[in-house]
């Protein structure tokens, strides 16, 4: 068992691999994108502020996301944690370390930009259980996991994706070197099917 961080560009499959890991081992898992979307749906003042970032494909400010993540980590009484989508900037990675939470393994999922764009255009999210599916596989019917309504994520337009991808290159890519230098990073080719990528990750863990 170990504490794990999942790194990767938008639509690289972080959330999907996170769900597969959760089926196999016991983790407390935090997906920061989903937490932010839940806050938006709550209609709170904070949610309105967060939405203004998500709508532009911008990262939310470090201080805002760090407060949410550290509060969550502090509430985990025992066991291992799995972070999907945090840290995404050097400031977040350093703060996590300073705060005393050290990952054992950082999994970097690699997928090229063209494949990511194809995925974004067919990605659907379940409005009930938040699972992600591809229109190419499930059509546009209901969620195969829970029967909920499948929708296009509001931030999954191509222009929004390109902003997120640019942010990933500028702010998140430096984390690969940071964790590589600490010998924590393992990289996996995320261009295969979710099951194949998961098999690869399982072998490396
Ligand atoms: P994706 O990886 O496809 O962009 P996520 O659901 O992981 O999807 O995240 C959605 C959005 O939430 C991100 O594009 C970003 O705007 C915001 N977000 C999530 N995690 C962070 C973070 N650690 N720092 C800043 N913004 C974040």
pLDDT at 149 over 90: yes
Which atom in ligand 1 lies closest to the alpha carbon of residue 53? Answer: 16
pLDDT band at 1 (very low <50, low <70, confident <90, very high): low
Rounded Cα gap, residues 93 and 178, in angstroms:
9
Average pLDDT of the residues in 57-66: 97
Q: Which residues contact 64 (CB under 8 A, 6 or more apart)?
A: 49, 50
Nearest residue (CA) to ligand 1, atom 26? 59
**Does pTM top 0.85 for this prediction?**
yes
Q: Which residue's CA is minimally distant from atom 9 of ligand 1? A: 33
Cβ atoms of 4 and 70 within 8 Å: the answer is: no
Of the two residues 21 and 140, the one the predictor is more confident about is 21
106 confidence band (pLDDT: 50, 70, 90): very high
Among residues 9, 30, 19, which one has the least CA distance to residue 109? 9
Active site residues: 14, 88, 123, 153, 164
Name the residue of 32, 111, 119 to mutate for ligand 1: max ligand atoms within 8 A of Cβ.
32
- Report the C-alpha gap between 66 and 70 in whole angstroms: 6
pLDDT for 114 equals 96
User: What is the pLDDT of the chain when averaged over all its residues?
Assistant: 94
Taking the CB of residue 43, how many other CB atoms lie within 10 A of it?
9
Does 78 score more than 80 pLDDT?
no
Name the residue of 85, 111, 124, 158 whose CB sits within 8 Å of the most ligand 1 atoms, as the mutation to test its pocket.
85
């Amino acid at each position: 068992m170990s504490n794990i961080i999942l790194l990767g560009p938008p639509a690289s499959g972080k959330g999907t691999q996170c769900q597969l890991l959760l089926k196999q081992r016991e983790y407390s898992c935090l997906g920061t994108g989903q937490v932010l979307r839940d806050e938006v749906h709550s209609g709170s003042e904070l949610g309105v502020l967060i939405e203004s970032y998500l709508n532009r494909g911008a990262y939310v400010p470090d201080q805002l996301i760090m407060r949410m993540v550290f509060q969550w980590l502090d509430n985990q009484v025992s066991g291992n944690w799995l972070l999907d989508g945090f840290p995404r900037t050097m400031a977040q990675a350093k703060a996590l370390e300073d705060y005393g939470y050290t990952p054992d393994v950082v999994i970097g999922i690699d997928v090229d930009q063209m494949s990511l764009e194809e995925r974004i255009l067919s990605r659907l999210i379940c409005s009930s259980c938040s699972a992600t599916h591809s229109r190419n596989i499930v059509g546009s019917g209901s969620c195969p996991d829970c029967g909920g309504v499948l929708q296009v994520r509001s931030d999954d337009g191509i222009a929004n994706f390109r902003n997120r991808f640019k942010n990933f290159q500028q702010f998140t890519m430096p984390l690969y070197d940071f964790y590589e230098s600490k010998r924590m990073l393992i990289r996996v080719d995320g261009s295969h099917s979710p099951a194949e990528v998961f098999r690869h990750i399982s072998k490396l863990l």
